[in-house]
Amino acid sequence: MSKQILETQRLILREFVADDIDDLARIISDAETMKYYPDPFDRHGVEEWIARNRRRYTAHGHGLWAMILKSSGELIGDCGITVQPVDGVQEKEIGYHLRRDCWKQGFAIEAARACRDYGFSTFPVKKLISLIRPDNLPSRRVAERNGMKIWKETLHKDLPHLVYVIERSEFQRLKGPAVISEA
Ligand SMILES: CC(C)(COP(=O)(O)OP(=O)(O)OC[C@H]1O[C@@H](n2cnc3c(N)ncnc32)[C@H](O)[C@@H]1OP(=O)(O)O)[C@@H](O)C(=O)NCCC(=O)NCCS
Protein backbone atom coordinates (compact mmCIF):
# COMPACT_ATOMS: atom_id res chain seq x y z
CA MET A 1 0.00 0.00 0.00
CA SER A 2 1.31 3.44 -0.84
CA LYS A 3 0.46 6.53 1.14
CA GLN A 4 -1.62 9.24 -0.53
CA ILE A 5 -0.30 12.75 0.12
CA LEU A 6 -2.36 15.16 -1.98
CA GLU A 7 -5.41 15.29 -4.19
CA THR A 8 -6.23 17.95 -6.80
CA GLN A 9 -9.07 18.20 -9.28
CA ARG A 10 -7.52 15.69 -11.72
CA LEU A 11 -4.55 14.21 -9.85
CA ILE A 12 -3.48 12.24 -6.83
CA LEU A 13 0.05 12.50 -5.47
CA ARG A 14 1.11 9.43 -3.54
CA GLU A 15 4.36 7.90 -2.33
CA PHE A 16 6.31 5.82 -4.84
CA VAL A 17 6.61 2.06 -4.32
CA ALA A 18 9.11 -0.37 -5.88
CA ASP A 19 6.41 -1.68 -8.25
CA ASP A 20 6.22 1.72 -9.98
CA ILE A 21 9.50 1.02 -11.81
CA ASP A 22 8.03 0.35 -15.28
CA ASP A 23 5.66 3.33 -15.22
CA LEU A 24 8.39 5.66 -13.90
CA ALA A 25 10.87 4.39 -16.52
CA ARG A 26 8.46 5.58 -19.24
CA ILE A 27 9.07 9.08 -17.87
CA ILE A 28 12.62 9.41 -16.58
CA SER A 29 14.24 7.00 -19.06
CA ASP A 30 12.85 9.00 -21.99
CA ALA A 31 15.64 10.96 -23.70
CA GLU A 32 13.41 13.87 -24.76
CA THR A 33 11.88 14.27 -21.29
CA MET A 34 15.33 14.19 -19.70
CA LYS A 35 17.10 16.42 -22.21
CA TYR A 36 17.97 19.01 -19.55
CA TYR A 37 19.60 16.33 -17.40
CA PRO A 38 23.04 14.80 -18.01
CA ASP A 39 21.43 11.48 -19.09
CA PRO A 40 18.12 9.61 -19.00
CA PHE A 41 17.99 7.05 -16.18
CA ASP A 42 18.75 3.40 -16.96
CA ARG A 43 16.81 0.60 -15.22
CA HIS A 44 19.14 0.55 -12.22
CA GLY A 45 18.91 4.36 -12.02
CA VAL A 46 15.09 4.22 -11.95
CA GLU A 47 15.22 1.62 -9.15
CA GLU A 48 17.62 3.82 -7.17
CA TRP A 49 15.44 6.87 -7.87
CA ILE A 50 12.47 5.18 -6.17
CA ALA A 51 14.62 3.97 -3.26
CA ARG A 52 16.11 7.48 -2.82
CA ASN A 53 12.67 9.05 -2.67
CA ARG A 54 11.47 6.42 -0.19
CA ARG A 55 14.43 7.33 2.04
CA ARG A 56 13.45 11.00 1.69
CA TYR A 57 9.88 10.25 2.90
CA THR A 58 11.36 8.79 6.08
CA ALA A 59 14.12 11.36 6.58
CA HIS A 60 12.24 14.57 5.68
CA GLY A 61 8.54 13.72 5.54
CA HIS A 62 8.50 14.54 1.83
CA GLY A 63 10.12 13.68 -1.50
CA LEU A 64 9.05 13.35 -5.12
CA TRP A 65 5.64 11.70 -5.23
CA ALA A 66 3.96 9.68 -7.98
CA MET A 67 1.45 11.70 -10.01
CA ILE A 68 -1.66 9.59 -10.71
CA LEU A 69 -4.31 10.62 -13.21
CA LYS A 70 -7.60 10.12 -11.39
CA SER A 71 -9.62 9.45 -14.55
CA SER A 72 -7.53 6.41 -15.58
CA GLY A 73 -5.45 5.50 -12.50
CA GLU A 74 -2.28 5.81 -14.62
CA LEU A 75 1.04 7.03 -13.22
CA ILE A 76 1.85 9.95 -15.54
CA GLY A 77 4.63 11.78 -13.71
CA ASP A 78 6.14 12.89 -10.47
CA CYS A 79 5.96 16.06 -8.47
CA GLY A 80 7.03 16.83 -4.96
CA ILE A 81 9.42 18.51 -2.58
CA THR A 82 13.05 17.56 -2.06
CA VAL A 83 15.88 19.12 -0.11
CA GLN A 84 18.57 20.54 -2.42
CA PRO A 85 21.77 22.43 -1.65
CA VAL A 86 21.91 25.94 -3.13
CA ASP A 87 25.24 27.71 -2.61
CA GLY A 88 25.79 25.60 0.52
CA VAL A 89 22.31 26.16 2.03
CA GLN A 90 19.70 23.37 2.15
CA GLU A 91 16.48 24.57 0.52
CA LYS A 92 13.14 22.85 -0.11
CA GLU A 93 12.64 22.48 -3.85
CA ILE A 94 9.49 21.77 -5.88
CA GLY A 95 10.28 19.47 -8.82
CA TYR A 96 8.24 17.77 -11.55
CA HIS A 97 8.56 15.41 -14.53
CA LEU A 98 5.72 14.38 -16.75
CA ARG A 99 5.21 11.62 -19.32
CA ARG A 100 5.61 13.18 -22.76
CA ASP A 101 2.13 12.35 -24.08
CA CYS A 102 0.66 14.28 -21.12
CA TRP A 103 2.51 17.57 -21.65
CA LYS A 104 0.68 20.86 -22.16
CA GLN A 105 -2.53 19.89 -20.42
CA GLY A 106 -1.84 21.83 -17.24
CA PHE A 107 -0.97 18.78 -15.12
CA ALA A 108 2.44 20.08 -14.00
CA ILE A 109 1.11 23.40 -12.78
CA GLU A 110 -1.83 21.69 -11.06
CA ALA A 111 0.55 19.40 -9.15
CA ALA A 112 3.17 22.08 -8.48
CA ARG A 113 0.62 24.44 -6.95
CA ALA A 114 -0.64 21.67 -4.68
CA CYS A 115 2.94 21.00 -3.55
CA ARG A 116 3.54 24.71 -2.93
CA ASP A 117 0.39 24.97 -0.78
CA TYR A 118 1.28 21.75 1.05
CA GLY A 119 4.89 22.88 1.58
CA PHE A 120 3.96 26.20 3.16
CA SER A 121 1.16 24.75 5.28
CA THR A 122 3.14 21.70 6.49
CA PHE A 123 6.72 22.89 6.98
CA PRO A 124 7.98 26.04 8.76
CA VAL A 125 9.89 27.26 5.70
CA LYS A 126 10.40 30.88 4.73
CA LYS A 127 10.62 30.03 1.04
CA LEU A 128 10.22 27.28 -1.56
CA ILE A 129 12.40 27.12 -4.66
CA SER A 130 12.66 25.43 -8.05
CA LEU A 131 16.05 24.79 -9.69
CA ILE A 132 15.75 25.05 -13.47
CA ARG A 133 18.18 24.99 -16.40
CA PRO A 134 17.89 28.40 -18.16
CA ASP A 135 16.83 26.90 -21.50
CA ASN A 136 14.09 24.72 -19.97
CA LEU A 137 11.27 27.09 -20.90
CA PRO A 138 8.33 24.76 -20.06
CA SER A 139 9.68 24.26 -16.55
CA ARG A 140 10.35 27.98 -16.11
CA ARG A 141 6.76 28.68 -17.13
CA VAL A 142 5.47 26.20 -14.54
CA ALA A 143 7.54 27.96 -11.85
CA GLU A 144 6.23 31.37 -12.95
CA ARG A 145 2.63 30.11 -12.91
CA ASN A 146 3.41 28.78 -9.44
CA GLY A 147 4.04 32.36 -8.27
CA MET A 148 7.84 32.08 -8.35
CA LYS A 149 10.38 34.64 -9.54
CA ILE A 150 14.05 34.31 -10.44
CA TRP A 151 16.13 34.73 -7.27
CA LYS A 152 19.64 34.05 -8.60
CA GLU A 153 21.83 31.83 -10.74
CA THR A 154 23.79 28.95 -9.31
CA LEU A 155 25.81 25.91 -10.29
CA HIS A 156 23.87 22.78 -9.40
CA LYS A 157 25.52 19.42 -10.09
CA ASP A 158 28.10 21.43 -12.07
CA LEU A 159 25.46 22.86 -14.44
CA PRO A 160 24.17 26.47 -14.56
CA HIS A 161 20.68 26.71 -13.05
CA LEU A 162 18.21 29.49 -12.31
CA VAL A 163 16.91 29.47 -8.76
CA TYR A 164 13.22 30.36 -8.78
CA VAL A 165 11.73 31.29 -5.40
CA ILE A 166 8.46 32.10 -3.70
CA GLU A 167 8.70 33.60 -0.22
CA ARG A 168 6.06 32.79 2.41
CA SER A 169 5.02 36.46 2.50
CA GLU A 170 4.35 36.41 -1.26
CA PHE A 171 2.46 33.12 -0.92
CA GLN A 172 0.26 34.65 1.79
CA ARG A 173 -0.39 37.65 -0.42
CA LEU A 174 -1.39 35.35 -3.31
CA LYS A 175 -3.67 33.18 -1.20
CA GLY A 176 -5.26 35.96 0.83
CA PRO A 177 -5.76 36.33 4.60
CA ALA A 178 -7.10 32.78 5.12
CA VAL A 179 -3.64 31.18 5.18
CA ILE A 180 -1.92 33.73 7.41
CA SER A 181 -2.99 31.89 10.54
CA GLU A 182 -1.38 28.66 9.26
CA ALA A 183 2.09 30.17 8.94
C1 LIG B 1 8.21 20.86 -17.34
C2 LIG B 1 6.98 19.96 -17.56
C3 LIG B 1 6.73 19.12 -16.31
C4 LIG B 1 5.79 20.87 -17.87
O5 LIG B 1 4.65 20.05 -17.95
P6 LIG B 1 3.25 20.49 -18.58
O7 LIG B 1 2.19 19.66 -17.93
O8 LIG B 1 3.35 20.47 -20.06
O9 LIG B 1 3.08 21.96 -18.11
P10 LIG B 1 1.66 22.65 -18.00
O11 LIG B 1 0.72 22.07 -19.03
O12 LIG B 1 1.23 22.67 -16.58
O13 LIG B 1 2.00 24.08 -18.51
C14 LIG B 1 2.55 25.08 -17.68
C15 LIG B 1 2.94 26.23 -18.55
O16 LIG B 1 4.08 25.90 -19.35
C17 LIG B 1 3.77 26.14 -20.72
N18 LIG B 1 4.47 25.15 -21.53
C19 LIG B 1 4.30 23.81 -21.50
N20 LIG B 1 5.10 23.25 -22.43
C21 LIG B 1 5.76 24.27 -23.04
C22 LIG B 1 6.74 24.35 -24.09
N23 LIG B 1 7.20 23.25 -24.70
N24 LIG B 1 7.22 25.57 -24.42
C25 LIG B 1 6.80 26.69 -23.83
N26 LIG B 1 5.86 26.68 -22.84
C27 LIG B 1 5.36 25.48 -22.46
C28 LIG B 1 2.27 25.98 -20.81
O29 LIG B 1 1.75 26.64 -21.96
C30 LIG B 1 1.85 26.65 -19.53
O31 LIG B 1 1.95 28.05 -19.61
P32 LIG B 1 0.64 28.93 -19.90
O33 LIG B 1 -0.35 28.58 -18.83
O34 LIG B 1 1.14 30.32 -19.86
O35 LIG B 1 0.14 28.50 -21.26
C36 LIG B 1 7.19 19.01 -18.77
O37 LIG B 1 7.51 19.78 -19.89
C38 LIG B 1 8.28 17.99 -18.51
O39 LIG B 1 8.04 16.93 -17.95
N40 LIG B 1 9.51 18.30 -18.94
C41 LIG B 1 10.62 17.39 -18.79
C42 LIG B 1 11.10 17.22 -17.35
C43 LIG B 1 11.63 18.52 -16.79
O44 LIG B 1 12.37 19.23 -17.46
N45 LIG B 1 11.23 18.80 -15.55
C46 LIG B 1 11.62 20.03 -14.88
C47 LIG B 1 12.99 19.98 -14.36
S48 LIG B 1 13.47 21.55 -13.65
Residue 180 has pLDDT above 60, yes or no: no
Model confidence, pTM? 0.94
Q: Is the CB of 156 under 6 A from ligand 1?
A: no
Residue of the CA atom closest to atom 17 of ligand 1: 138
What is the DSSP annotation of 121-164? Answer: HHS--SEEEEEE-TT-HHHHHHHHHTT-EEEEEEEETTEEEEEE
State the residue range of the domain holding 142: 4-175
Residue 183 has pLDDT above 90, yes or no: no
Residues 25 and 19: beta-carbon distance below 8 Å: no
Q: Looking at the domain assignment, is residue 138 inside a domain?
A: yes
Residue 56 has pLDDT above 80, yes or no: yes
- Work out how many domains the chain is built from and give that number: 1
pLDDT digits (tens, 9 = 90+) for 129-149: 999 999 999 999 999 999 999
Mean pLDDT across the chain: 95
Residue of the CA atom closest to atom 41 of ligand 1: 33
Rounded distance, CA 81 to CA 56, Å?
10
Residue of the CA atom closest to atom 10 of ligand 1: 106
Residues in contact with 36: Cβ distance below 8 Å, sequence separation at least 6, in sequence order:
133, 135, 136, 139
Expressed in angstroms and rounded, the spacing between residue 97 Cα and the centre of ligand 1 is 9
Report the CATH number at residue 90. Answer: 3.40.630.30
Q: Looking at the domain assignment, is residue 152 inside a domain?
A: yes
Residues 95 and 130: beta-carbon distance below 8 Å: yes
Q: Is the CB of 108 under 6 A from ligand 1?
A: yes
